[in-house]
Amino acid sequence: MALSKPDYYAILGVFRDASLEDIKRAYFDSAQKLHPDKNVAPGETELFLEIQQAYEVLANPKRRSLYNATLPPEIEVNTAVKHEIHFSRPNLVKLGEPQLIYALLEVSSREEKSALPTPPLNICLVLDRSTSMQGEKLDIVKATAIQLLRSLRPEDVLSVVSFSDRAEVIIPASISPDKKKQEGRIQMMQASGATEIFNGLEAGMREVRRTLDPSRVNHIILLTDGKTYGDEQACLQLAEEAAALNIGITGMGIGNEWNDIFLDALASRTGGSSAYISKPKDIERLLVEKFKALINIYADDVLLELKEQEHVKINYVFRLQPEGGSVEIESHMHLGPILREAPLQVLFEFLVSPEALNGDALSLISGSLKTSITARPMPVPPIRLNLTREIHSNPSAEPPPTQILSALSRLTLYRMQERARTAADAGQYDAAARHLHNLATHLLSQGEHSLAKTALFEADNLERMHAWSASGHKDIKYQTRALLLSGVKEKAR
């Protein structure tokens, strides 16, 4: 057997000790993508046959064990992605009280960025056209949509859906478009009605699914300026369906009225996050930036599957890069995309109970990372992820790694803002103002004068009026979040 040829396990993208069920699931997943009735790229039919062959062998226990005997000992090398982990401390300490430990996970592409073609896009713009969008906002949104339409490459698909209390498909998803006519249709959009996000999202999903293709970047960009009432739960469910189909969602909120917590929750279910557009004139810049990021996607989502560990609680998971945002803590976590130039960076905070410290070592996470490379049909073998720390009786004197320290120092600012918000929501305005004062001190010392001023101004508002100003908490939240990213960039320079 030639060494370079991937073995059947690698072809299916499963571990050697995968259960029959895992093998079946992996087979069905790839078969769906590569079936001769559906595949488009040359060579995919051959790949499909290989997968079928692999499945036939591995699904039969007898043939599988015969096959296993021919395999060289397992070397877990993943050719597509690599990952690195840094811990805040080299070991855990035997203590009678709970303790925290942090881990920074970095997943990046192993390939030269020139070696891969940029993947074609399959994007749906879901645009709010409720009454409040009237005027400058809608005009800029229309102009930007037309500009994006013109900048598409021939292989890209852009569909456009507008919604208020009902949804309307402005441009259906299709590959050979008549652009003049489409531009005209965008121009015709009129503002009226209320904001019901579910309707828009559902129609957007339908369009993206029309040209759904795993070798494209499938993505929905939701642009809204208002709150949706009553259909939040349905929206979140839809986002989960989208995640299962590898469709990403980005939420962009314009102005002060929209619900950032909801949009964050919606986007994070697919490994995305929300963005805040404080002034209508920023709409264009942020949308164009988003498109650039989407074209640069190497893998659209990294999925972390994990088993719960006794006495270890995952307190907080935050994606530092490419788009800062908190990650929903579940047994299947959508960590986010890997860009060609920017690795995915996720920070975990673990809370370890004293009961967990009986052995010599403790596993904080035991699970696997799964992903697929957008521009490549071949399944990527999952990466086993075991975060284990030894348990010592004395703390180590080693200083924490600078990556973690600098990431946490910036994340601390973001979390202080979160704490201020929680306190204010609970009616503890004094506590909220205190958190903001503390935040302002740190911002000042880092040279962020204008944001510090905003924080002090809001602290004052909370103390005197028991309320945030119209844009206050969004300004602080999204700007402290942006600081996270600028920190990462500085380091890379």
Burial of 387 (0-12, 13-18, 19+ CB in 10 A): buried
Residue 442 C-beta: closest distance to other proteins, Å? 5
- Taking alpha carbons only, the member of 127, 188, 112, 132 closest to residue 160 is 127
Rounded to the nearest whole angstrom, what is the least distance from the CB of residue 20 to other proteins in the complex? Answer: 41
Can you read off the two tokens belonging to residue 74?
A: 């397992």
Stretch that binds other proteins, among 120-128, 293-301, 444-452, 465-473 (CB under 8 A): 444-452
Rounded distance, CA 464 to CA 441, Å? Answer: 20
Q: Binder to other proteins among 194, 351, 482, 485 (CB under 8 A)?
A: 351
Of the ranges 97-105, 115-123, 128-136, 146-154, which one interacts with other proteins (CB under 8 A)?
A: 97-105
Degrees to nearest 5, angle at CA 87 with 18 and 368: 15
Q: How far is the CB of 412 from other proteins (least distance, A)?
A: 4
User: Taking the alpha carbons of 225, 230, 231, 237 in that order, is the dihedral positive or negative?
Assistant: positive
488 binds other proteins (CB under 8 A): no
Can residue 493 be called a binding residue for other proteins (CB under 8 A)?
A: yes
Q: Which is nearer to other proteins, 299 or 320 (CB)?
A: 320
Select 290 or 473, whichever has its Cβ closest to other proteins: 473
Q: Between 47 and 462, whose beta carbon lies closer to other proteins?
A: 462
The residue among 63 and 449 lying less far from other proteins, judged by its C-beta, is 449
Nearer Cβ to other proteins (302/416): 416
Select from 353, 388, 441, 486 the one that contacts other proteins (CB under 8 A).
441
Q: What is the DSSP string of 37-63?
A: TT--STTHHHHHHHHHHHHHHHTSHHH
Residues 6+ apart with CB under 8 A from 77: none
- Residue 180 or 493: the one with the smaller Cβ distance to other proteins is 493
Q: Which is nearer to other proteins, 107 or 416 (CB)?
A: 416
Which residue from 99, 79, 42 is spatially nearest to 383, judged by alpha carbons?
Answer: 79
Which amino acid appears at position 234 of this protein? A
Q: Which is nearer to other proteins, 190 or 396 (CB)?
A: 396
Q: Does 100 bind other proteins (CB under 8 A)?
A: yes
| Coil vs helix vs strand at 82 | strand
How does DSSP assign 195-227, residue by residue?
--HHHHHHHHHHHHHHT--TTSEEEEEEEESS-
In sequence order, the 6+-apart residues with CB closer than 8 A to the CB of 387 are 85, 87, 103, 348, 363, 364, 365, 366
Phi/psi at 305 (5° precision):
-105, 130
Q: Which of 438/469 has CB closer to other proteins?
A: 438
Cα 58–33–105 angle (5° rounding)?
80
Among 70, 176, 233, 445, indicate the residue that binds other proteins (CB under 8 A). Answer: 445
Among positions 2-21, residues that touch other proteins (CB under 8 A) are none
Closest approach of other proteins to the CB of residue 88, in Å: 6
Binding mask 386-425 for other proteins (x = CB under 8 A): -------------xx-x-xxx-xx--xx--x--x------
Residue 134 or 388 having the CB closest to other proteins: 388
What are the residues whose beta carbons fall under 8 Å from the beta carbon of 122, sequence distance 6 or more? 156, 157, 173, 208, 211, 212, 213, 216, 217, 218, 219
Among 24, 185, 332, 442, binds other proteins (CB under 8 A): 442
Member of 88, 144, 224, 259 binding other proteins (CB under 8 A): 88
For residue 99, state whether it binds other proteins (rule: CB under 8 A): yes
> How many residues bind other proteins, per CB under 8 A?
33
DSSP label at residue 179: H
The residue behind tokens 């967990």 is 356
Q: What is the rounded distance in angstroms from the CA atom of residue 34 to the CA atom of residue 31?
A: 5
Q: What is the nearest approach in angstroms of other proteins to the Cβ of residue 415?
A: 8
Q: Which is nearer to other proteins, 151 or 358 (CB)?
A: 358
Residue for token pair 């070592």: 361
Binding mask 167-206 for other proteins (x = CB under 8 A): ----------------------------------------
As beta bridge partners, residue 220 has 124, 249
DSSP 135: T
Q: Which of 21, 37, 97, 310 binds other proteins (CB under 8 A)?
A: 97
Q: Is 326 in the site for other proteins (CB under 8 A)?
A: no
Nearer to other proteins, 79 or 441 (CB): 441
Task: Quote the tokens at residue 30.
Answer: 């790839």
Contacts of 176 (CB under 8 A, 6+ apart): none
* Binding stretches for other proteins (CB under 8 A): 88-89, 93, 95, 97-102, 351-352, 399-400, 402, 404-406, 408-409, 412-413, 416, 419, 438-439, 441-442, 444-445, 447, 449, 493
